Amino acid sequence: MTWIVAGLGNPGERYAGTRHNLGYRTVEELASRNSERFKKVRFVPVEVAEITHGGERLLLGRSQRFYNESGEVYASLARKRDVPPERIVVVHDDIDLAFGALRIKQGGSAGGNRGVESFVRALRTPDFYRVRLGVGRPPGRQDPVDFVLQPFGKRQEADVRMVVDDAADAVLSLVREGLAAAQDRYNRSTPRA
């Protein structure tokens, strides 16, 4: 069967190292591990790299639309490839989780994340998987939008690489072993020591 792993982010070099692009970085890590390249999909504004894991086919996606508008892109891809919502994994940053935290869940509220809200609208259900990657709250009174569009600090980069690596492993565990096993192994409230 086929899965879609939707890495949320914004296209273009300007956003590459920002907090909002952790989803992109996760699908790029999975593609890199398998020596796969992203290719444009005809008639859908998304780039996809295809890998196989444990007999399952995974379509790793990078939308070419902005973060908050990506739901319809993946809904179109899902229709085109006949993938139901319960076989879609959305990987995204989350300011409501401490930096370095990781949470896997299925369904529930979008928690104010406009990218996730766009999936709920486009898929007409909240019942897809989410791999939530903590970036922490903005300092002081900084606008959350400005915060997530800033790059990580140099001192954080080693931890960011670890989070991305763990997120990639969590996606594979979810696909191979199911939600409960992936949650037991990867859910955490703080960065991995």
Q: So which residues are the catalytic ones?
A: 20
Tokens at 192, concatenated = 């991995």
The CA–CA distances, whole Å, from 81 to 35, 42, 57, 78, 109 equal 22, 12, 11, 5, 26
Q: In whole angstroms, give the CA distance from residue 115 to residue 104.
A: 16
Q: In whole angstroms, give the CA distance from residue 27 to residue 103.
A: 17
Burial 39-73 (b: 16+ CB within 10 A, else e): eebeebbbbbbebebeeeebbbbbbbbbbbebbbb
